[in-house]
A and B are shown apart, each in its own frame.
Chain A
């Protein structure tokens, strides 16, 4: 079965028709309740009996996020928001807002045309004050909606049954793959949206439980000097830094991208100071300040033209920005003070491991290859998919926190074995998988082990997940 439809449940024609009556009634009620406002109804065009699945919801949420943001950017007063993501006949959402009917019709028509997955959306805009008013695509200078398979008018192809259902489904699936799989599309968001996503990524990482060895609301893992509260303070304190990182990327105009890292470094040092002040001297997010700062700056750089970008493009910039970081920081460091040597320097000197610097210099490979695909494809709740993602990352990278705690790189193999056992049990969605995480947490506490590097990668995964709409 095509991935877009995997795990979905078939509906009958009767359910679809009854659902239209339900929607029509909801819309009429909203128009009656808000006679002076505009009602926006958002749903998907998914041909065939399966109209909801994990991946169909990903499509929906990616577009819904873009629509919501249009209202936020416009400073429109929002009167009501209603989202029904799980409907068997397909996800639907309604938005009631202040504004001009025509303006929002245009906005939503443009969304259907311009957003990469817009062809799969069907948005209606209506108002009680303008009953029966229909702003056609033609009046706005737009051609009729095109068929998903050929380039004819969609209504005609459907009427004549020109294409097999399988061809229409394959075309929809291809749109999904183009957006989420082949590369990940990242719309051009406002600074506030990006910074919110960064802070939320830090908060969601620490809120996730049960994480082996790491701090979460249930257990402080193998960290005696901090609690979940320490991380909340730290995440909030980093907001000005994330803003600065985005602005530096957006405003950067030199030909040599390494200049962006040079501009970011003093901000990163200030952010570390803000973190230590907020946590009374505890290192909570040092790794994330480095990696997430560079990632945000790279995204800012990639969206300077205010057009959507892709993960590949952003990670290319990460690589370019960090091109000299190994040489500058590890190979020929300017000061070698053994007292002040960081774990990264020690591990390079002792084991030739390049740690977090190696990761950014390589364009954060585990993000596109492990973090995001795992989150995209694992089944179950958001929490369990994030736990699976953390474990997959922990089993992939050479975690410098883990190596530092274990005092040997041999721990990496042990961690991979633990991760393999966890996935053999079925992962976080299974009862045995959950038990395994709790037991592993005990083991790691006893051995004073932590997977801070994997946690940082999880923050990056959540951040990009939020920008793409995979996570909201």
Chain B
């Protein structure tokens, strides 16, 4: 699936994660900011990659600002940002949840 527009989900509140997605051509390109990037950067990225795979998105620039979000929060924010980027806001893919 192609990214239709740049999209944002989540906030900079503590225990949340903000994800911004824009068009890319070189696979999933991550830019991750997190206090716990050293310990959990890969895990955060993997969670987001799983959601993107479920939405069949293979090329995107993904900026992530993590404030210590737990996995279910990251997943939920990733789902929202994919729907917004694909203009699917009204057709949520609940099966991804």
Of B16, B39, B68, B70, the contact of A20 (CB 8 Å cutoff): B16
Segment of B6-14, B21-29, B51-59, B82-90 in the binding face: B6-14
B36 on the A face (CB < 8 A): yes
B36–A17 contact, CB under 8 A?
Answer: no
Of B12, B39, B43, B77, the contact of A17 (CB 8 Å cutoff): B77
B contact residues around A124 at 8 Å (CB): 13-14
Question: Bound state CA distance, A124 and B15, in angstroms?
Answer: 13
Of B13, B36, B43, B68, the contact of A24 (CB 8 Å cutoff): B13
User: Which secondary structure dominates where chain B touches chain A?
Assistant: loop
Segment of A77-85, A153-161, A176-184, A449-457 in the binding face: A153-161
A156–B16 contact, CB under 8 A?
Answer: no
User: Which secondary structure dominates where chain A touches chain B?
Assistant: helix
A13 on the B face (CB < 8 A): yes
A156–B11 contact, CB under 8 A?
Answer: no
On whether A158 and B39 interact (CB within 8 A), knowing A14-B76, A23-B13, A24-B12, the answer reads no
CB distance from B20 to the nearest CB of A (A): 14
B36–A20 contact, CB under 8 A?
Answer: no
A contact residues around B70 at 8 Å (CB): 158-159, 161
Which of A13, A23, A122, A124 has the most B CB atoms < 10 Å from its CB?
Answer: A13
A17–B16 contact, CB under 8 A?
Answer: yes
A23–B11 contact, CB under 8 A?
Answer: yes
Which of A14, A23, A24, A144 has the most B CB atoms < 10 Å from its CB?
Answer: A24
B12–A156 contact, CB under 8 A?
Answer: no
Q: A2-45: contact bitstring with B at CB < 8 Å (1 yes, 0 no)?
A: 00000000000110010011011000000000000000000000
A155–B11 contact, CB under 8 A?
Answer: no
B contact residues around A156 at 8 Å (CB): 36, 39
A20–B76 contact, CB under 8 A?
Answer: no
B contact residues around A17 at 8 Å (CB): 10, 16, 73, 76-77
Question: Bound state CA distance, A21 and B8, in angstroms?
Answer: 12
CB distance from A46 to the nearest CB of B (A): 12
A20–B72 contact, CB under 8 A?
Answer: no
CB distance from A47 to the nearest CB of B (A): 10
A155–B35 contact, CB under 8 A?
Answer: yes
A13–B73 contact, CB under 8 A?
Answer: yes
Question: Bound state CA distance, A13 and B68, in angstroms?
Answer: 15
B40 on the A face (CB < 8 A): yes
CB distance from A93 to the nearest CB of B (A): 15
On whether A159 and B11 interact (CB within 8 A), knowing A13-B76, A17-B76, the answer reads no
Of A23, A24, A122, A159, the contact of B40 (CB 8 Å cutoff): A159
CB distance from A30 to the nearest CB of B (A): 14
CB distance from A153 to the nearest CB of B (A): 8
B11–A158 contact, CB under 8 A?
Answer: no
CB distance from A120 to the nearest CB of B (A): 13
A122–B14 contact, CB under 8 A?
Answer: yes
Closest B residue to A159 by beta carbon equals B40
B contact residues around A144 at 8 Å (CB): 35
B36–A155 contact, CB under 8 A?
Answer: yes
CB distance from B40 to the nearest CB of A (A): 5
Of B11, B39, B43, B68, the contact of A21 (CB 8 Å cutoff): B11
Q: A148-188: contact bitstring with B at CB < 8 Å (1 yes, 0 no)?
A: 00000001101101000000000000000000000000000
Nearest 10 pairs of A and B residues by beta carbon: A24-B11, A155-B68, A20-B13, A20-B11, A20-B16, A159-B40, A155-B36, A13-B72, A122-B14, A17-B76
Interface residues of B (CB under 8 A from A): 10-16, 35-36, 39-40, 43, 68, 70, 72-73, 76-77
What are 25 pairs between A and B in contact, CB < 8 Å? Answer: A13-B76, A14-B76, A17-B10, A17-B16, A17-B73, A17-B76, A17-B77, A20-B10, A20-B11, A20-B16, A23-B11, A24-B11, A24-B12, A122-B14, A124-B13, A155-B36, A155-B68, A156-B39, A158-B70, A159-B36, A159-B39, A159-B40, A159-B43, A159-B68, A159-B70
